[in-house]
Structure 1
Amino acid sequence: MSQLKHYLPALVRITLGAVFIYAALLKIADPVAFAGSVAAYRILPYFGSYLTAAALPFVELCCGILLVLGYRVRSGALIIGVLNLVFIVALASAIVRGLDIDCGCFKQGGEKTTPWTALARDVLFLAMTWFVLKVEARRDRGSETGAGPAAPAG
């Protein structure tokens, strides 16, 4: 059990990063389909849907890579957390307005994800992000009090 406790933060961080890398690569591979998914939310103007489809996957990709590599983890996780909050608000808006849309996140072939399923998944990702940020904050506090790795002399 103590081994799981030791490896769980890294497992959650790497899993979250890998999920966002995977989602980004699917969107990068078919930006027109992703732009259509963004437009289906009826939140952004026409141009905004294409701009989002062009930029968002690369932000997700960069943040996912940061998490997998364990470099600038707090920055990558914070951006992913904000993105998840935006996704959750957009999905909730679609549900309230009665839109039967596909989230567009993991679209591959004819598979369709309901807004409720996507919302539940994004809440899970937000919880994972919170966990990663909490672990990183604890790690930072430990290094400030001297409980963590020694600071370089200088």
Structure 2
Amino acid sequence: MSLLVRFALAAIFIFAGVPKIMDTASFAGAVYNYQLLPEALINLFAIILPWLEVIVGILLILGVWLPGAVIIYNGLLISFIAALIISSIRGLDISCGCFSTDSTHGIDLWTILRDASMLLASLYLLFVVFVKKITSDSNGIWPKQTAACRPNKLAGR
């Protein structure tokens, strides 16, 4: 189940990032419309964010640096949801800029719920990744004993 969730979330980020990489100028316009960043940071953000989405997606598919990739994924989704909610509260009629640079899809309740459901799936993945790490690194509660920490069987003789 977690492998399916991991691949689905990875595909979403890759699918969302590639069009933004292909048309950075339009994505910068979408970022600007949110009115959340200083103008000096908009172009830099519009260049870095899509690549981060694609790289995190690739890491999820490969299973490389999985704890870090899942944490970054969650952080990005939380910031996306916050930006969507803030823009909705402010009454901005803007393009989401989520999956393309097309300006036809605005921000609505569906957009927020979609990202929230992705966050729930990502939190599930975070839980699975860290529970798996904890249980593989220890007996579930205490750290594994190294050879230096094990009692010497010969010491009592």
Same fold, judged at TM 0.5 (above)? yes
**More helix by percentage:** 1
Deviations along 1:90-149, whole A, 9 cap, x unmatched? Answer: 1111011001111101126564143422211111111111011111112112212358xx
Aligned pairs for 1:2-151 (under 5 A) are 8-107=1-100, 109=102, 111-145=104-138
8 A Cα contact 1:18 1:64, kept in partner = yes
| Contact kept? 2:11, 2:57, Cα under 8 Å | yes
TM-score by length of 2: 0.83
Structure 2 residue matching 1:65: 3-state secondary structure: helix
Note closer, same or farther for the CA distance 1:134–1:122 as it changes in structure 2 (3 Å cut). Answer: same
Alpha-carbon distance in 2 for matches of 1:36, 1:121? 22
Q: Which runs of 4+ in 1 moved over 3 A?
A: 108-111
My pick for the range that moved more, 72-81 or 114-123, is 114-123
Taking structure 1 as reference, are residues 43 and 106 closer, same or farther at Cα in structure 2, changes over 3 Å only? Answer: same
Identity in percent: 35
Corresponding letter in the other structure for 1:59: L
Gap runs ≥5 in structure 2: 148-157
Q: Is the 8 A contact 2:31 2:42 kept in 1?
A: yes
- The letter of the residue matching 2:7 is I
SS in 2 for 1:107: coil
In structure 1, list runs of 5 or more residues that go unmatched. 1-7
TM-score (norm 1): 0.85
Greater C-alpha Rg? 2
Partners in 2 of 1:86 and 1:109 — Cα distance? 21
